[in-house]
Amino acid sequence: MSIRKQFRLVALSAACVAVGAGISAIAAAGASTPSATTHPRHAHRGRFGVGRELRRAVHGDVLVATRTGFVTVTFDRGIIQSVKGQQLTLTEGRKSTTKTVTLTIPANARIRENGHKAALSSLAAGQRAVVVQTPKRTVVRARTARHG
């Protein structure tokens, strides 16, 4: 598959995750008991306030239909705990609801650190990372967490 097709596949999978999160948020909102007051912080969200919920997604598997069949695209997001060889260990979640996963990153993966091309070994514990895996490509994007 060409780079353009891979990019389209990743973009499509991200859109599918967004739609799924939106449907989940709408279903959850419909199932909740209506409140007499609206918190001012959430008053502007309306029915399309899916962005905040999607930012909390830490893992997803999306089945995408292509011309030749189906392809599974997977993403994992979390804080880097360690990098040993081709193994990247992430802690997904927040505070008391965390899960640790170890991913094997192929040698031909695209690694970006703070927006620049990098090697897997240059990533450090404490950085935020997103790993997107397709059958033919793996992309790792890491950034140093902002302080203050």
Does this model's pTM top 0.85? My answer is no
Helices (H) and strands (E) in the chain, counts: 2, 8
Look-up of token digits 């490509």: 137
Q: What is the mean pLDDT of residues 118-135?
A: 94
What is the pLDDT at residue 41? 54
Distance CA 92, CA 71 (A): 24
Using one digit for the tens of pLDDT, what is the confidence trace for 6-24? 666 666 666 655 555 555 5
Contacts of residue 40, Cβ cutoff 8 Å, sequence gap at least 6: none
Asked whether the predicted pLDDT for residue 133 surpasses 80, the reply is yes
Distance CA 29, CA 93 (A): 22
Distance CA 15, CA 98 (A): 25
